Amino acid sequence: MLHLIVYFLIQCLIVVNGLSLDINDRDSICAAAKAISDGEWNYYEGLKYGGVVGMFAAPNYWWNAGEAFGGLLDYFSYCDPTNETLESLIYDGMYHQAGAGFNYIPSNQSMTEGNDDQGVWGMAIMQAVERNFTNPPDHSWLSMTQAVYNTMNARWDNTTCDGGLRWQIFTWNSGYDYKNSIANGCLFHLAARLARYLGNDTYVETAEKVWDWMYGVGFMVSKGDEFILYDGADISANCTDLTTYQWSYTYGIMLSGCAYLYDYTGDDVWLERSNDLLTASGQFFNNSIMYEMQCAPSNNCNNDQRSFRSLFARSLGLTSVLVNSTAETISGWIDTSSVAAAQSCSGGSDGITCGFNWAVNGWDGVYGLGEQQSALETVLALLTEMPLTASTGGTSISDVNAGLNTGDTINTNLITISTRDKAGAGVLTAVVLGVILAAGVWMVL
């Protein structure tokens, strides 16, 4: 009886105070991460009757699933590497969404998939490579990452703005005429990781190509001590009419891309760029607590934006191990943010639902896959391990031509699709764009 009362009291403490986290104790970190990831699986459709393996509940899109699996894979590798149930859940989910060409362009996502979406899935499967996650027998995680890279790089478009990737892959999705930092940043980031993993300088050349173009076109700007990374620009004015929003995940993937390149090349230029982006990333912290600076203060973050801190936190963790001179600054942020994030995870009927504003005491009443992912990856950033390479124990099999020889029709956008579906996609993207723009106007007001 006493036992039960004590148990009940402990449960109350947890519910009232969220997850308590001792950042110096691995067991405490993993216990918090387990609770948060359990909450994340609650959004998973793959185990529900009629649900699709690899997908999460609406309003989450296909790309959100790619982002989610990256965090769940890190949780598995750092905290629960012998749990075979967890391993197969992650394996099945990631493999099922590879698409018929094993390049993460599943044909039934052509209404929503942009270059950034494919790139975020590419990051998750590259993580599988770097964490030596069990490989599918016929298509290794590495070969599929190479297919993502090769198909993205083949879409490099010199016909407008002198280069760059468009936001969208398919002509019928609105946003096809927009070039942006997240799509190009994904190519930069994947090129950096492949270069380091395989020790192949061709990928460094691609990373340089992307960096130079983004800098040249004005998506990245140095102003004295300040370094700014903007959202993107429409091709109509030769990419000169910039959309000036700034998002944490874009900073994160560019920063960690530079860190991979510095670790691989030892070239000081990548250290300087890492440092510039690191300093600039300070704007996403208030009193060392991470927040989505562009939309959080006005309470206007949409479902996607509420997940951005997950990729940002993952990127910071990677940067801190790849470029050790950044570790002190990053620990300062992650130590405080992880405790703040964990204590927000006291909501919902499950008592492990994480909130959005980590600066308030307890759960703020906001919930979703994005909140859960962001808290999970911020906590896991405390445990980031050095990513493997082919020469330090990675075993995934390379295929440099993956994705180039499948004869798929993706690059020429020849997939047949009914006009009605096309119109639907246009409207959907237009609505999303409208919401983003409206949020922007609101912010400016």
Footprint of ligand NAG (CB under 6 A) = 41, 52, 55, 80, 83, 85-86, 89, 106, 108, 132, 158, 161-163, 200, 202, 216-217, 238, 286-287, 297, 324-325, 359, 393, 395, 400
In this complex, which beta carbon is closest to ligand NAG, that of residue 400 or of residue 415? 400
Closest separation between CB of residue 1 and ligand NAG, Å? 28
In this complex, which beta carbon is closest to ligand NAG, that of residue 279 or of residue 395? 395
Nearest residue to ligand NAG by CB is 393
Helices (H), 97-180: 115-130, 141-154
Closest separation between CB of residue 202 and ligand NAG, Å? 4
In this complex, which beta carbon is closest to ligand NAG, that of residue 9 or of residue 35? 35
Residue 369: which of 151, 61, 160, 122 has the closest Cα? 61
Residue 93: which of 47, 133, 131, 134 has the closest Cα? 47
Cis bond upstream, residue 81 (ω within 30):
no
DSSP state, residue 236 = G
Closest separation between CB of residue 89 and ligand NAG, Å? 6
Q: Where are the beta strands (DSSP E) in 197-261?
A: 220-223, 226-229, 232-234, 242-243
Closest separation between CB of residue 243 and ligand NAG, Å? 16
In this complex, which beta carbon is closest to ligand NAG, that of residue 86 or of residue 148? 86
Closest separation between CB of residue 85 and ligand NAG, Å? 4
Task: Find all residues with CB under 8 Å of 345, minimum gap 6, and list them.
Answer: 18, 19, 32, 35, 36, 39, 352, 353, 354, 355, 363, 375
Count CA atoms closer than 13 A to 158's CA, side-chain side.
2
CB 75 within 8 A of CB 133: no
Closest separation between CB of residue 329 and ligand NAG, Å? 10
In this complex, which beta carbon is closest to ligand NAG, that of residue 365 or of residue 434? 365
Number of neighbouring beta carbons within 10 Å of residue 147: 29
In this complex, which beta carbon is closest to ligand NAG, that of residue 106 or of residue 252? 106
Closest separation between CB of residue 354 and ligand NAG, Å? 17
Residue 145: which of 407, 400, 413, 411 has the closest Cα? 400
In this complex, which beta carbon is closest to ligand NAG, that of residue 5 or of residue 27? 27
CB 249 within 8 A of CB 284: no
